[in-house]
Amino acid sequence: MKKKLSLIPFIALLFSLFVIGKSTVAADETTYEIGTDITFAPFEFQNEDKEYVGIDIDLLKAIAKDQGFQVNLRPLGFDTSIQAVQSGQVAGMIAGMSITDERKQSFDFSDPYFESGIQMAVKADDNSIKSYKDLKDKTVAAKVSTESAAFLEKNQKKYGYTIKTYDDANGVYGALKNGTVQAIFDDYPVIGYAVTKGEDLKLVGEPKKGSAYGFAVKKGKNQELLKKFNAGLKKLKDNGEYQAILDRYIASSSNTASDQMKKVTPKKDKYVIASDTAFAPFEFQNSNNEFTGIDVDLLKEAAKMQGFNIEMKFIGFSAAVQAVENHQADAMIAGMTITPEREKSFDFSTPYFESGIQLAVKKGNDKIQSYKDLKGKKVGVKVGTESADYIMNHKDEYGYTVKQFDTADQLYDAVKVNAVDAIMDDYPVIGYAISQGQALQTPIERVTGGKYGFAVKKGQNPELIEMFNEALAEMKRTGKYDQIVNKYIKDGSTTAEKADSVSEKGIIGILKNNYGVLLSGLLRTIGLALLSFAFALILGVIIGLMAVSHIKGLRVFASVYVDIIRGIPMMVLAFFIFFGLPQLIGFTIPDFTAGVITLTLNASAYLAEIVRGGINAVPTGQMEAARSLGLPYSKTMQKIILPQAIKIMLPSFVNQFVISLKDTTLISVIGVVELLQTGKIIVARTLQSADVYFIIAVMYLIVITSLTKFAKVLEKKVK
């Protein structure tokens, strides 16, 4: 009995402790331990303040606030969170967890809070892919062993694309960025999040429905928490807060659509646009001797769409830069890379072309499939280019030797005759060469390079930039941009149309199709030389006579003039006269006129020295004899000294004219298209440097030989 009596208070104590404990636990359970993943953007990840945010986190916190409970978030990782729920260490988990029949055996799930799926994405400026049907003959990427990869494999035959798989997201997104693939597939919230973070992507089509995500608790446990989650989720969906949370992290195809083009009012009747003369496929003369190319077509289309008038001047890259800076042109478009240095002097449009460099080998050379295969080989590049920098920086790594060339035609001829095993150049230039029938292939993916922009002088013509940007965006939206680019470039993913319909193979083909423009260039060269030499002869004789004058001031002036003109390189003199002098005199000097002035000044200095030397070659005794007979100085020079001096000077005059004829090639720097520049333009289109320069050499040879023969006949008659 005592024993029984002694047990009663003990049992009563245990009962009271149990009740108190139960009530305490119930009170404490208003705060729930919730497991989640460490990083699964956009569902859970750390922001820049090291705080966990994301769809799952924001959604759970909003539901907890609405339903009146607290959560203690524990980012354990996906697998660890599963174990923690099973062992009772956390009350539930939210981690982008797909609801599957297998998991339902161990977990109780909430109503689905997110319907996932897979989504296609392309580059933001790619308007050629609008549906799965447009993937034919394209290359598409996905991560290995994912729902996206399975979808691609299942539908490959149906849509006719090629698949590339990568181990991680960096590989997939990087492949799209550098042009290795034309489209990618991934979980649509992941791609949507990438768009919101500024990735250069555009979602195409609606997501393919996939598995649903749910909030999970251990089977049979924490049912009140599940009910609270479902009630809060329904309320958030009804009041719109749920969608606001999704929109915070995910972009959709509907909210990435481009706006319609805005029309901008031009402020000038006509805009003068400067460009290069030979940078195929961006600007070059076609077989009809008309300037065409990506830059030309884009600008003409923009002008048509926005309703402004343009006058294009193809004067060379350097000359175009100077023309814009000196207000001789309103803008320039010439494959101009946007750089921080150039942005100090120019305002640029939205980039209209993302360039890059690429390795090419002779067609049929299958021994080079990677940079490692270049060991012991020779690689050619152009001097001072991005390609040259890249090749020089990696030559020790891959063990090749480097040969540098001054021009593109030398570079492409080198690989043609096996002087080098491979070349590297801007990929659109290589692509154009391939489209024109050059026997090249590109075994290695290109390296991403700079971006090209349409440029105006800083602070000038802002409406011109705005008009170009609006038109460019519309061209990309409608697919016109791709149509223009693909017309000129051929690589692994595009097929270019043949830019020329006329055969220009061999010397006969070039002459047949270009004899008119070659003769025009020759006449311009001869005209420059004759006109400038006539003026130079007059000026040179005057300066030469000053140099032998008995008046000291005239001799000093002549000496200073000759020293200054001969001391300035002719190319620098041409730049000053064409670009610098107009700023001093207040009006523009035409390029041909500037060329004549440059050649005149340059030749006059040398002719003055020829005159001085010729006069001094006449024996001084003749001057003294004439003066002693009472002849004045002027009569002595006119009747006695100069007739003899001219005979002495004549061969040198002819020689100086030949030099002036050759010097016309330097005037092309200010945009004068003489014979050599005409040849360069033809080479840029045909890439047949040997044949073209042979023709030009023969033309120069004929002209100069004829002049030399004529000079000898003239010399005999004079004697």
Is residue 593 one of the residues assigned to a domain? yes
Is residue 332 one of the residues assigned to a domain? yes
Please determine, for residue 201, whether its predicted confidence score (pLDDT) is greater than 90: no
Is residue 7 one of the residues assigned to a domain? no
Average confidence (pLDDT) over 148-174: 86
Cα 61 to chain centroid, rounded: 46
| Domain CATH number, residue 156 | 3.40.190.10
Q: Within 10 A of 248 (CB to CB), how many other CB atoms are there?
A: 14
Give the model's pLDDT for residue 497: 42
Clarify whether residues 125 and 31 are in a common domain. no
Clarify whether residues 192 and 300 are in a common domain. no
Clarify whether residues 692 and 550 are in a common domain. yes
Contact (CB, 8 A) for 96 and 56: yes
Q: Which is it for strands 31-36 and 92-93: parallel, antiparallel or unpaired? A: parallel
293-337 residue pLDDT tens:
899 999 999 999 999 999 999 887 777 888 898 888 999 998 888
pLDDT band at 486, cuts 50/70/90?
Answer: confident
Please determine, for residue 258, whether its predicted confidence score (pLDDT) is greater than 70: no
Give the model's pLDDT for residue 504: 63
Is residue 11 one of the residues assigned to a domain? no
Give the model's pLDDT for residue 260: 65
pLDDT band at 465, cuts 50/70/90?
Answer: very high
Give the model's pLDDT for residue 645: 77
Please determine, for residue 448, whether its predicted confidence score (pLDDT) is greater than 90: no
* DSSP summary character for residue 279: B
Is pLDDT larger for residue 211 or for residue 498? 211
Give the model's pLDDT for residue 107: 94
Average confidence (pLDDT) over 270-278: 89
Give the model's pLDDT for residue 273: 96
Please determine, for residue 525, whether its predicted confidence score (pLDDT) is greater than 50: yes
Give the model's pLDDT for residue 233: 94
Please determine, for residue 10, whether its predicted confidence score (pLDDT) is greater than 50: no
Average confidence (pLDDT) over 93-114: 90
Give the model's pLDDT for residue 634: 73
Strand (E) or helix (H) holding 45: strand 45-46
Q: Comparing 360-364, 407-411, 675-679, which segment has the lowest mean pLDDT?
A: 407-411
Please determine, for residue 1, whether its predicted confidence score (pLDDT) is greater than 60: no
Strand (E) or helix (H) holding 303: helix 294-306
Task: State both tokens at 513.
Answer: 């199709």
Give the model's pLDDT for residue 16: 40
Clarify whether residues 531 and 637 are in a common domain. yes
Give the model's pLDDT for residue 454: 95
Domain limits for position 84: 27-113+214-251
Average confidence (pLDDT) over 197-211: 80
Q: Within 10 A of 506 (CB to CB), how many other CB atoms are there?
A: 11
Clarify whether residues 292 and 231 are in a common domain. no
State the maximum Cα–Cα separation within the chain, in Å, rounded to a whole number.
Answer: 174
Separation of alpha carbons 365 and 440, rounded Å:
9
Task: State both tokens at 111.
Answer: 């109503």
Clarify whether residues 191 and 327 are in a common domain. no
Please determine, for residue 150, whether its predicted confidence score (pLDDT) is greater than 90: no
Give the model's pLDDT for residue 516: 82
Contact (CB, 8 A) for 449 and 356: yes
552-568 residue pLDDT tens:
999 999 999 999 999 99
Clarify whether residues 309 and 435 are in a common domain. no
Give the model's pLDDT for residue 25: 39
Average confidence (pLDDT) over 592-598: 90
Which ranges of 118-240 would DSSP assign to H, the alpha helix? Answer: 147-159, 169-177, 188-196, 223-239
Is residue 495 one of the residues assigned to a domain? no
Average confidence (pLDDT) over 249-274: 75
Give the model's pLDDT for residue 564: 94
Average confidence (pLDDT) over 110-132: 88
| Domain CATH number, residue 644 | 1.10.3720.10
Identity of residue 60: L
pLDDT band at 186, cuts 50/70/90?
Answer: confident
Clarify whether residues 541 and 558 are in a common domain. yes
Please determine, for residue 144, whether its predicted confidence score (pLDDT) is greater than 80: no
Is residue 591 one of the residues assigned to a domain? yes
Q: Comparing 159-173, 210-224, 362-376, 485-499, which segment has the lowest mean pLDDT?
A: 485-499
Residue 390 neighbours by CB under 8 Å, 6+ apart: 357, 424, 447
Give the model's pLDDT for residue 420: 92
Is pLDDT larger for residue 474 or for residue 681? 474
pLDDT band at 709, cuts 50/70/90?
Answer: confident
Please determine, for residue 494, whether its predicted confidence score (pLDDT) is greater than 60: no
Give the model's pLDDT for residue 565: 92
Q: What percent of the chain has pLDDT over 90?
A: 34
50 to each of 35, 47, 249, 647, how far by Cα in Å?
Answer: 18, 5, 17, 92
* DSSP summary character for residue 579: I
Give the model's pLDDT for residue 503: 58
Q: What percent of the chain has pLDDT over 70?
A: 89
Please determine, for residue 589, whether its predicted confidence score (pLDDT) is greater than 60: yes
Clarify whether residues 605 and 470 are in a common domain. no
Question: Residue 217: helix, strand or coil by DSSP?
Answer: strand
Is residue 392 one of the residues assigned to a domain? yes
Please determine, for residue 427, whether its predicted confidence score (pLDDT) is greater than 60: yes
Contact (CB, 8 A) for 528 and 596: yes
Clarify whether residues 461 and 608 are in a common domain. no
Is residue 18 one of the residues assigned to a domain? no
DSSP conformation letters of 129-157? -SSGGGGTT-EEEEETTSHHHHHHHHHHH
Mean pLDDT of the chain: 83
650-707 residue pLDDT tens:
878 888 888 888 888 888 777 677 888 778 777 766 767 778 888 988 998 998 888 8
Please determine, for residue 4, whether its predicted confidence score (pLDDT) is greater than 50: no
Question: Residue 353: helix, strand or coil by DSSP?
Answer: strand
Average confidence (pLDDT) over 405-410: 70
Q: Comparing 94-98, 356-360, 629-633, which segment has the lowest mean pLDDT?
A: 629-633
Give the model's pLDDT for residue 73: 92
Q: Structural domain tally of the chain? A: 5
Clarify whether residues 569 and 664 are in a common domain. yes
11-33 residue pLDDT tens:
443 444 343 343 333 444 589 99
Contact (CB, 8 A) for 378 and 420: yes
Clarify whether residues 206 and 219 are in a common domain. no
49-64 residue pLDDT tens:
778 888 999 999 999 9
* DSSP summary character for residue 107: E
What values do phi and psi take at 463, rounded to 5? -65, -30
617-639 residue pLDDT tens:
877 777 777 767 777 777 777 77
